[in-house]
Amino acid sequence: MKIRPLTPQEQKYTYAQSMQLEGQTANIGYLRGDFAHSGYGFYTTWFDTRTQWKTDKFKAALDEVVNTLREDKGLLHNRYDMSAFAKQFPDSAFQGNYCTEYGFRADTEKHAFLLRCNPARGDYNFYCFCYVKEWLDKHIANAEHGIRFIDPNYKELFRIPDGGKIVITTAWGEKFEQVCRYIDETHMELSSDRGGDIYHICEFAERMERNNSTVVPVLPNLPEQCYIYLPTTQEIGIVKKGESGYYRSDLSTVYGENGQEFVDELNRQGGVSKAQAAAMKSGSMFGWHTPAADPKNYDGDGKPIKPKHRNKDYER
């Protein structure tokens, strides 16, 4: 059995999902546990989700995973070993709802076990969400295409990643955010403190138009707009957050080959870094749901950062 850090896409599936997503991913249930006040206990509670997949083969696989991870120095041996284990895999850390948590995945032949760990005293120390591996992986792969937002004529306006957010502005000016989850190519789930609903993307577009509401994506650490330089045509353009393509600027023919330096200075004066400008340009070209549209993937000069090699799997 191998255990490895969760990918960012997998981290979302270590929390309770809606009934729709539980079905889409074949979530069998989850195990919640803690190590007691001493850090050496082991108390667990099981919660059913989809009992039709709770087969004898699954039960045997769950026992295998838990017993293996309960071995000395294993992730579930005790609170102190969990903390030491997580430190071996820096890539496992992610920001949870209230604190930094650590995520790992263990696979057996047919099943995937996604663990969210918190080696802090006084809280539940782990959740293990259990899935039919084929269903989960297929759903995650499809969700990587992002969630489409269109107008009533099916013209694509923008895309956001699974788990991204939008801001809806009503006709009377009220704004509220909603979290978006991928269901399939034409359906999405929206949720907020007001509750959640599933929409066909065309139905949602028609409802927004009928109510005179506007929708924009919430994009991380990006300005509302910035300048870009296109060396092939020596144009200076303006890119707006969430929109495809660019707007031509009256400055296009003024600075010629020195356009990039001028653009950098314009953006600097507007509080836009080179990394943000590079992400804005990529988002307008390749889609706002892609990693290229995130400024954290660029260095201070706006050059793409090469991804680090992941730690090798921990094998028992």
pLDDT (tens digit per residue) in 284-300: 898 777 778 888 889 98
Looking at the fold, whether 195 and 239 belong to one and the same domain comes out as no
Are 12 and 72 contained in the same domain?
A: yes
**pLDDT value, residue 80:** 96
What pLDDT does 311 receive?
55
* 29 and 122 co-located in one domain: yes
Mean pLDDT, residues 181-195: 85
Do 214 and 231 share a domain, yes or no? no
- The Cα 39–Cα 293 span in angstroms is 42
Let me know if 39 is exposed, middle or buried by CB neighbors in 10 A (0-12, 13-18, 19+).
middle
For residues 27 and 72, membership in a common domain is answered with yes
Instruction: Tell me, yes or no, whether 307 lies in a domain.
Output: no
Q: Please tell me whether residues 189 and 239 are part of one structural domain.
A: no
Question: Is 316 part of a structural domain of the chain?
Answer: no
Nearest CA to 15 among 188, 179, 221, 167?
A: 179
Beta bridge partners of 176: 168
In a shared domain, residues 163 and 235: no
In a domain, 302, yes or no: no
Residue 24 lies in a domain: yes
State how far the Cα of 234 lies from the Cα of 113, in Å rounded to an integer.
52
Please write the tens of the pLDDT for every residue from 101-132. Answer: 999 999 999 999 999 999 999 889 999 999 99
Residue 86 lies in domain:
2-141
User: What is the four-CA torsion angle of 151, 197, 32, 9, rounded to 10 degrees?
Assistant: 0
* Strands 314-315 and 175-184, sheet pairing: unpaired
Residue-level pLDDT at 231: 86
Domain count, the chain: 3
The pLDDT of residue 252: 60
Lookup: tokens for 294? 């995130």
Compute the mean pLDDT over every residue in the chain, rounded to the nearest whole number.
90
274-286 helix and 259-269 helix, angle to the nearest 10 degrees: 110
- Of the residues 141, 176, 208, which one is the last residue of a structural domain? 141
Residue 315 lies in a domain: no
The answer on 103 and 47 residing in a single domain is yes
78 and 183 in a common domain: no
Q: What is the spatial distance between Cα 30 and Cα 70, in angstroms, rounded to a whole number? A: 17
Percent of the chain with pLDDT over 70: 93
Per-residue pLDDT for 254 more than 70? no
33 part of a folded domain: yes
Instruction: Give the confidence band of 315 by pLDDT, cuts at 50, 70, 90.
Output: low
Convert the pLDDT of each residue in 47-93 to its tens digit. 999 999 999 999 999 999 999 999 999 999 999 999 999 999 999 99
CATH of residue 151's domain is: 2.30.30
Residues 24 and 109 grouped into a single domain: yes
pLDDT digits 0-9 by tens, 199-247: 999 999 999 999 999 888 887 788 889 999 988 888 889 998 878 889 9
Same domain? For 164 and 214 the reply is yes
Q: Which of 117, 141, 165 is the last residue of a domain?
A: 141
Q: Are residues 197 and 287 in the same domain?
A: no
Q: Which of 141, 172, 205 is the last residue of a domain?
A: 141
In a domain, 312, yes or no: no
| Closest C-alpha to 54, from 28, 27, 21, 30 | 28
Residue 309 included in any domain: no
The pLDDT value given to residue 205: 95
